[in-house]
Structure 1
């Protein structure tokens, strides 16, 4: 028979542990995370199925990466997308790259012409075309679509504003206007002459610095010309689609919308400098709103049965405004793409950023003491795992820590401030990141 004193001693230890957890929310979260983490040991269906189960019937999974140019998030994305397509009926992937530029990759995976390495290099923004992981993704998609056993073909999209470059000048922004005007010149040359004529004088000045140099009257004329282009396509959509086919028309209309997005950003923000300034939040706000709009367009194109994997930086996909770290200088915290999408899609959006522990070969060391969320997850004990945070949002000892402001590492050398309880539905943790693979030039 167990002695009464031993029972009371055991009960006392349990109560002490419970009290300690309540007194130390970080310890409570760590204990909860260790109990609920799902290891992701391999690039295989059993591991990737854990993410699919957590997402449930959501039409869009927003997967984030903590920084651009790391191998592990890109490789994880590729594995996850293959599983989602083959096992859960996903129909498209949309990544943080120029929407108009990515049209060539959209066509290539559908069987169009071209050399895959050259197309990826030339069609992805921000230098992402250098990475072998992106080439591998496009090659797999083309092979999947070439198999006649796959009746429903899958699609590749960019969802970023078009014309972006490392200088911040948006030097290639005119690609949007060029594409829309070329469509009208081909399918509606006579009737659209006036609309095209209003836009053409501004083609060489459709960059952020050049827009800033326009007079107030010129800016008004440019805005009217871009709006007129979009309205013309809307007004004559049925007639134009009958001539060109619906797909060609949809891309022309999207290019006009992309030009509108750029004109709005040019009008409401100053060109970027070498350092962030308090008013630079305006450009970030315009860009994230545009990306959300483009993501909606992708979802609409995929139809009621379509499901999309969205892949972008953690700061874009999370349901949290951009604040903290290098962004502390902003006068206001701009609204992120994930906030726009959450408001529109509700639980049809599943947000899962990637957090990381250390940086390995080819990447700068992480900032010491940064990323309270990353640090906590690193103590869970697995090299790679999924943690669904939704069960701990409102109840239990971990809820308090999740509702507090925490930090998540970003761009290797800084961090963003978030409340994990609302910023994400789940998180994938990867212990060590290494540089993305850059193949030697052929």
Structure 2
């Protein structure tokens, strides 16, 4: 470890809180059209803030045309319409479709500040040059079906009537879990064929006629097509949760990657270059082949699929790590968000190695010498929307070869939690280090 520590101290670049902190990253981006910015948790202020600062520079200096995030398509679409000046929403109202747990993941002050910046950035630009904020995820089975029907009501009422018939088999009281269970067990009809048929009908509308109505009409057609794709893949996902041999992790990450591919193609049809920044968890954006999830469980993720589809010369995978601090997270699913104390990283982890360097916050490009230093497997921490420090090792650590997983790392040694727009009483009871014992 002494050799690794010495190498990190030599190769890492300290972060000074200046715009120049990101110069080395932008140099590393070069002409790449995909930059994937990760996070070691879903509730850390420092990750959100720095991703936003990097993304602003990528948009202004490198001509990036869209931000794609680990959020549901219809929820983020309301923000896209807001930042492109296509809705009557206020800034706060534009966040109104983020209704399900965990609301704080996107309904927080850090994202709000970025959206305000993006709206201002877009204001002086023509429609085709305005940057959108798009969701990649697939949980919105019913919201996406409703959005498809609402779109068809406007452009083709006859097809809207057919869509209602196609999607009728989804009706399980708006509960996707109940739908998936009953469809998987043969207790009700699967909507797979109907969902695929409806997307085919939508695609027949095409862009040519819509282009005569302007770029906005083409955008709306694309938004509807993508909602139809969400219905197909969400239906398969919820069925696979019960009785299927398909890995739901793989289904989800394949959908998110396919959404990214469709978004790039849409941007290019609009005359752009298809340059997209992606925000998601490290576990989605670091190449799964370098981790336990890929090597032992046969799982793949966005980072791996992007490298395979577009090559390492056109994509840059950037991870974010921390040693300790606080995170916005719940103890149980559907629980209240709290300011949870993050335990100091474990011995044998990449986070502890970075902490022991004594550099504090730094940027480390994982090229040549640095790649050799971090080629061996180390523990790596992953905190989602749930944090359970009482089972820290089992719940939040896996092994990974960091130099193969990412192209670069930002290490932020002590971090703080994001600030939710909606706060429950537990938020005011900030956990302190003495809350939990260090023993596992």
**Residues 1:75 and 2:44 aligned together:** no
Compute the displacement of 1:321 (Å): 5.1
**Residues 1:262 and 2:234 aligned together:** yes
Partners of 1:363 and 1:321 lie apart in 2 by: 31
Q: 2:318 aligns with which of 318, 339, 352?
A: 352
Partners of 1:416 and 1:240 lie apart in 2 by: 51
**Structure 1 residue ranges without an equivalent (≥5):** 1-25, 164-172, 272-278
Q: Which moved more, 1:30-39 or 1:353-362?
A: 353-362
Q: Which moved more, 1:359-368 or 1:49-58?
A: 359-368
Cα RMSD (Å): 2.9
Compute the displacement of 1:65 (Å): 0.5
Partners of 1:265 and 1:322 lie apart in 2 by: 25
Compute the displacement of 1:193 (Å): 3.4
**Residues 1:213 and 2:213 aligned together:** no
Aligned to 2:219: 247
How do residues 11-410 of structure 1 correspond to structure 2 at under 5 angstroms? 26-44=1-19, 46-111=20-85, 112-123=87-98, 126-127=102-103, 128-147=105-124, 152-163=129-140, 173-191=141-159, 193-204=161-172, 207-214=176-183, 221-238=190-207, 241=210, 245-270=217-242, 282-303=247-268, 304-320=272-288, 332-346=297-311, 347-360=313-326, 362-366=339-343, 369=346, 372-392=349-369, 399=372, 401-410=373-382
Q: Deviations over 1:370-425 (max 9, x none)?
A: 662111111233222111112237xxxx62x5222222111164112211232111
Equivalent position SS for 1:354: strand
Partners of 2:276 and 2:142 lie apart in 1 by: 28
Q: Which moved more, 1:359-368 or 1:59-68?
A: 359-368
Aligned to 1:17: none
Partners of 1:150 and 1:110 lie apart in 2 by: 7
Partners of 2:109 and 2:341 lie apart in 1 by: 20
Partners of 1:180 and 1:219 lie apart in 2 by: 23
CA contact (8 A) 1:30 1:380 kept: yes
CA contact (8 A) 2:323 2:344 kept: no
Q: 2:405 aligns with which of 400, 423, 426?
A: 423
Q: 1:311/1:233 Cα in 2 relative to 1: closer, same or farther (>3 Å)?
A: same
Q: Deviations over 1:134-171 (max 9, x none)?
A: 110111111111135998322211111242xxxxxxxx
CA contact (8 A) 2:380 2:400 kept: yes
CA contact (8 A) 1:281 1:331 kept: no
Count of residues paired in the alignment: 391
**Residues 1:433 and 2:401 aligned together:** no
Compute the displacement of 1:428 (Å): 0.7
**Structure 2 residue ranges without an equivalent (≥5):** 328-338, 424-440
Compute the displacement of 1:210 (Å): 2.2
Partners of 2:200 and 2:4 lie apart in 1 by: 52
CA contact (8 A) 1:65 1:312 kept: yes
Q: Which moved more, 1:90-99 or 1:250-259?
A: 90-99
Provide the TM-score with structure 2 as the length reference. Answer: 0.80
Partners of 1:230 and 1:222 lie apart in 2 by: 12
CA contact (8 A) 2:35 2:278 kept: yes
- Structure with higher Rg: it is 1
Partners of 2:10 and 2:171 lie apart in 1 by: 58
CA contact (8 A) 1:99 1:160 kept: yes
Provide the TM-score with structure 1 as the length reference. Answer: 0.80
Equivalent position SS for 1:116: coil
Aligned to 2:331: none
Partners of 2:190 and 2:377 lie apart in 1 by: 45
Q: Deviations over 1:210-266 (max 9, x none)?
A: 221237667655111111111111233247736872111111111111111101212
Partners of 2:10 and 2:249 lie apart in 1 by: 38
Partners of 1:227 and 1:291 lie apart in 2 by: 18
